Structure 1
Amino acid sequence: MRSVSVVLILALVAIASAAPAGDKPHYDLNKTEEYFEKYIKDFHKVYKNDADREAHYRAFADSLKQINKLNEESDSATFGINNFTDYTEEERKNMLGLRID
C-alpha cells in the first residue's frame, strides 16, 4: 500500500518548486465536474463507457483532495493536475509492475 501512495504522490507532482504557498493551486471541490470536463479535453481522455468514465471521475475527485492536502503540507513542492490524475487504484498498481511480496 505504501508503494501505491508513493506512486500517487509521484503521479501528482506537476511542478516541484520552492514557490510561495499563495502560488500553489487549490481546487474548489464543488467544481470537480468542471475540472474533470476540462481535464478530459486538455488531456484527450477517452473512456470505454459510462461506468469507466464514472470510475475515472471518482479517481479524479479523490486525487483533487490529495493534491489540495499535499499542497497545504509541502513547503518545497507544488502538486497539480496532470495526465495521471484520473488513474484508478488498479491502474496505479499496474504502473508498479510485477511485485512479489
Structure 2
Amino acid sequence: MRSVSVVLLLAVAAMASAVPDTYIYRPHYDLSKAKVLFEDFIKEYNRIYKDEADKEDHFQAFVESLKVINELNAQNSGAIFDINNLADYTEEEKRNLYGLKTTTTKPQN
C-alpha cells in the first residue's frame, strides 16, 4: 500500500511539472483601475503620505510599476511578477534603497 502511495505521489508531481507555462496565472492589471488598486495598496501596506502632492508622486510610481509588472508577465519567463511593498517607490527612493551611497561633501584633508 505504501508503494502505491509513493507511485501516486510521483505521478501527481510529474503531471504538475508538465503543466504548460500558459496555464500559470500571471497578473495583468487594467491601468484604468489604477486608482482603486492604489487605494487597496495603501490599505494593505499601511502607507501614509506627507500630503496630496506626495501621494500623487507615489501614485505615478505605482502606475509605472503596474506597467512593468504587465510587461514582465507578458514575457512568460519562469518568474511571476506582482504588486509588492515596493510598488509605490519613486525612482529616487529606489536609488536610495539600492544605489551606491556617495557623500555629497568633499572629504576634509
Higher relative contact order (CA 8 A, sep 6+): 1
Tell me the TM-score normalised to structure 2 length.
0.70
Question: Is there any run of 5+ residues in structure 1 with no aligned partner, and where?
Answer: 1-17
The structure whose Rg is larger is 2
Q: Could you tell me which runs of 5 or more consecutive residues in structure 2 were left unpaired when the two chains were aligned.
A: 1-18, 104-109
- How many residue pairs get aligned? The number is 83
Q: CA RMSD in A?
A: 2.1
Equivalent-residue separation in structure 2 for 1:19 and 1:62 (angstroms): 29
- Tell me if 1:61 matches 2:66: no
User: Identity of counterpart residues, as a percentage?
Assistant: 45
Between the aligned partners of 1:72 and 1:32, the Cα distance in structure 2 is 18
TM-score (norm 1): 0.75
Larger relative strand fraction:
1
What is the distance in 2 between the residues matched to 1:58 and 1:21? Answer: 30
Aligned position for 2:27: 25
Moved over 2 A (4+): 18-22
Maintained 8 Å contact 1:63/1:85:
yes
